[in-house]
Amino acid sequence: MPHLVQMDKRYGKKGLQLIGAHVQGGEDEVVAEKAKDLKMKFPVTQGIRGPGLGVNSIPHLMVFDVEGKLVFSGHPMNDADKVIKKELRKVKDTGDDSKNNGGFGLPERPGDSLRDWTNADGKTIQASYVSADDEKVTLRLKNGKTSKYPIDKLSEGDQAFIKEQRDS
């Protein structure tokens, strides 16, 4: 993890967006404390899923190009810096705004876009859907941090949205 923190410091201002994923079943509080100890500035989510995203080493880094294509998958110390530098040059060369869509100009996935969430008291926040279990939804706030919130404390419309996301 310290290597990823250094990578974030080195390339974050140039457009790289790191997103951590803990996949070993650790308690969220323990992971959050470790992230705080390491002074991690990037968000950490619970697990990863998707076709062809099998992870067999820890730490494991995946780099996607401006088209959303996986261009690197492996240990961060195995030539990841070369690949990242190459992809960041492409972003600069194509004139993409590196502040949008995670730094690499990636197309947004439906669950990534910000939306208004309303709780049972009528208060709203803007956040994007990350994941949900039977009791809580994980939301990514505008500042990139994630937060868990009880599903039963959300509006009926938000609960229906969560169900739709889990069913898709």
Tell me: the pLDDT tens digits for 96-123? Answer: 333 343 433 333 443 457 889 998 888 9
**What would the pLDDT profile of 42-67 be if each residue is shown by its tens digit?**
777 776 665 555 665 567 777 777 66
Mean pLDDT of 68-97: 73
Long-range (24+ apart) CB contacts under 8 A made by 107-111 are 107/68, 111/165
Handedness of CA 128, 131, 135, 136 (dihedral sign): negative
Mean pLDDT of 145-167: 89
CATH class of the 2-103 domain in this structure? alpha beta
Token pair listed for 31: 């992971």
User: pTM for the complete prediction?
Assistant: 0.45
DSSP string, 38-92: TT--S-EEE---STT----SSS-EEEE-TTS-EEEEE-TTTTHHHHHHHHHHHHH
Mean pLDDT of 83-99: 62
**How many CB atoms lie under 10 A from the CB of residue 77?**
10
Which carries the bigger pLDDT value, residue 167 or residue 33? 33
Residue extents of the structural domains in the chain: 2-103, 110-167
Fold observed for domain 110-167: SH3 type barrels. (2.30.30)
